[in-house]
Amino acid sequence: MTEKQTAIPAATLVLFRERADRPPELLLVERAKAMVFAAGALVFPGGRIDPGDYALAETIGGPRDDTAARIAAIRETLEEVGLPIGITPVPDSATLGAIRAALHAGATFGEALRQHGLRLDLDALVPFARWLPAHAHMRIFDTLFYLARLPEDAPDAEVDATENVRLTWSSAQKVLDAADAGDAHIIFPTRRNLERLVRFASFDEAAADAARYDIRAVTPWIEQRDGVEHLCIPTDLGYPVTSEALTSATRG
């Protein structure tokens, strides 16, 4: 990372939809091709942590950065796909629409929640990973990833049609297969996280595995292996695949 680049704090939500006798489905959104970062890629919902998220975190208490990141992951998921993760009581579709409209109009998340008598359940989110790339790029994000389970009474997800053009519920394996077939575009962190998530038959399994590892920044580096440049990540953070030839890695 150059001295001129300052990492942008961000948060992402890996949302599980569980179905009987089949692998859990994960929610991904397809980024608009006009976006600067990860254009056209399938990514998990999320985005930068705003000043309002930090302000709300100060009123809630707890570790400031983690609390603000959880708030941002919940807010971004609501804005991008209209799902009330970590919001209690679970609001109906009309209330969700009103909150979403208020956020787009410039209201803070705290204001929108208070107006409708809602509160946050930050414990609904399970810390999973932190990614902090260091390659030359006009934007570098320091992103905290969280796991969450879709509530049984949640409404249908609806893409915001601004930053993202569509959404999909798919198993981790199906997304990987689609990417390998050239039918989907995923960036390096998304691929590594999908490879980690594909091993779990439920949200509870994924959450239990996540608890076994420190949340330490994953900063990929380039290393020569058998004469080929590889993009590598640490081997002690729960990822089954920790390197990929640089020629095939998509970095955002």
Answer yes or no: is 84 within a domain.
yes
Answer yes or no: is 81 within a domain.
yes
Cα(11)–Cα(179) distance, integer angstroms: 23
Answer yes or no: is 213 within a domain.
yes
Mean of all residue pLDDT scores within the chain: 91
Answer yes or no: is 3 within a domain.
no
Answer yes or no: is 109 within a domain.
yes
In DSSP notation, 233-251 reads --SSSS-S--EEETTT---
Sign of CA dihedral 168, 169, 175, 178: negative
- Count of domains for the chain: 1
Answer yes or no: is 150 within a domain.
yes
Q: Would you state the pLDDT for residue 2?
A: 43
Q: Are strands 228-232 and 243-245 parallel, antiparallel or unpaired?
A: antiparallel
Give residue 198's domain range.
Answer: 8-245
141 close to 48: Cβ distance less than 8 angstroms: yes
Phi-psi region of 246 (alpha: psi -120 to 50; beta: other; left: phi over 0): alpha
Answer yes or no: is 200 within a domain.
yes
Q: The domain spanning residue 46 has which CATH number?
A: 3.90.79.10
As averages over each run of 10 residues, the pLDDT of the chain (252 residues) reads 73 94 94 63 94 96 96 96 94 91 92 96 98 80 97 87 84 97 94 98 97 96 94 97 92 65
Inter-CA distances, 99 with 24, 28, 125, Å: 28, 22, 20
Residue given tokens 């009309």 in the structure block: 94
Answer yes or no: is 215 within a domain.
yes
